[in-house]
């Protein structure tokens, strides 16, 4: 989790680099999320004050778009492509396999904070369908069987850190 102090500092930095114009609302939300990993409640209030608009309007815009999140992501964020080509190639089975392997539902973050799972519409790699993305790495031509294999290095890493 991010401390309040860190949040405050990040918020101030980002706000200072923008003008008080309504068209900057979405860029502000995007930069906050890029910096903080998600949009904490406090940041929404800050943006509303800065742009001199009701906080509810900021929430309205933020909740309208798929990109914005209001809970922190896992250390490894997994995106499952659910575009047409991936669907036809069995994307739903891949998603189910991930839910099984990670023991979380899509949209959730695991309790230990290691993994979070998200479905996305299309990442534009249709010729490699079905694909998943772990962090920045794209895993092409997945099968439910290969899911387990793909997760191994990520599941092992936290242990090696402890040892």
Partner 1 sequence: MTFGEINNKAKSEWEALQNGSYILIGTATCGRAAGALSTLKAFEKELSRRNIEVKIIQVGCMGLCYTEPLVVISKPDSFRVVYGNVTPELVPRLIEGYIIGDDPCLELALGTLEGGGEDAPYIPELLRFEHELRLVFRRCGYIDPENINHYIANGGYSSLEEALRRQPKEIIEEVKKSGLRGRGGAGFPTGRKWEFCHNAEGEPKYVVCNADEGDPGAFMDRVVLESDPQQVIEGMIIGGYVIGANQGYIYIRAEYPLAVERVKTALKQAEELGLLGDNILGSGFNFHIELAMGAGAFVSGEETALMEAVEGKMSTPRPRPPYPAQAGLWGKPTLLNNVKTFANIPLIVKRGADWFSSIGTEGSKGTAVFTLAGKLNNKGLTEVPMGTTLREVVYGIAGGISGDKSFKAVQIGGPSGGCIPAELLDTPIDYDSLRQAGSMMGSGGLIVMNEDNCMVDAARFFLDFSTKESCGKCTMCRLGTLQMLHILEDITAGQGKIEDIDLLLRLAEDVKTGSLCGLGKTAPNPVLTTIRYFRDEYEAHILEKKCPAKVCPELTAYYILPEKCERSCEHCVLTCPTEAIKGEKGEIKVIDQEKCVNCGTCMDVCPPEYDAVVKLSPVSLLPSTNLSKKRAKK
* Contacts to partner 1 by CB under 8 A: 21-27, 29-30, 60-61, 64-68, 82-88, 90, 93, 96-97, 100-101, 120-129, 131, 138, 140, 143-145, 148
Nearer to partner 1, 12 or 88 (CB): 88
Q: How far is the CB of 134 from partner 1 (least distance, A)?
A: 12
Nearer to partner 1, 148 or 157 (CB): 148
Nearer to partner 1 by C-beta: 30 or 113?
30
Between 10 and 61, CB nearer to partner 1: 61
User: What are the residues facing 81 on neighbouring strands?
Assistant: 120
Residue-wise burial string across 96-134, b where 16 or more C-beta atoms lie within 10 A, e elsewhere: ebbbebbebebebbeeeeebbbbbeeebebbebbbbbbb
Least distance from partner 1 to the Cβ atom of residue 104, Å: 15
Minimum CB–partner distance for residue 93 and partner 1 (Å)? 5
Q: How far is the CB of 3 from partner 1 (least distance, A)?
A: 27
Q: Cβ(83)–Cβ(90) under 8 Å?
A: no
Torsion-angle region of residue 46: left (phi > 0), alpha (psi -120 to 50) or beta?
alpha
Residue 11 vs 58, nearer CB to partner 1: 58
10 Å CB burial of residue 92 (0-12, 13-18, 19+) is middle
Tokens of 24: 């900057």
In the complex, least distance from residue 13 CB atom to partner 1, rounded to whole angstroms: 19
């Amino acid at each position: 989790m991010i401390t309040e102090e860190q949040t405050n500092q990040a918020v101030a930095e980002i706000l200072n680099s923008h003008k008080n114009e309504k068209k900057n609302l979405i860029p502000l939300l995007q930069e906050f999320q890029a910096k903080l990993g998600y949009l904490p409640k406090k940041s929404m209030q800050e943006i509303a004050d800065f742009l001199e608009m009701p906080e509810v309007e900021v929430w309205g815009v933020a909740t309208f778009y798929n990109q914005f999140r209001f809970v922190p992501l896992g250390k490894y964020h997994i995106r499952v492509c659910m575009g047409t080509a991936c669907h036809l190639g069995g994307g739903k089975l891949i998603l189910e396999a991930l839910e099984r392997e990670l023991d979380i539902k899509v949209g959730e973050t695991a309790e230990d904070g290691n993994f979070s799972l998200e479905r996305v519409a299309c990442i534009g790699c249709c010729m490699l369908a079905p694909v998943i993305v772990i962090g920045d790495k794209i895993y092409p031509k997945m099968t439910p069987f290969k899911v387990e294999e793909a997760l191994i290095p990520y599941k092992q890493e936290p242990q090696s850190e402890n040892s």
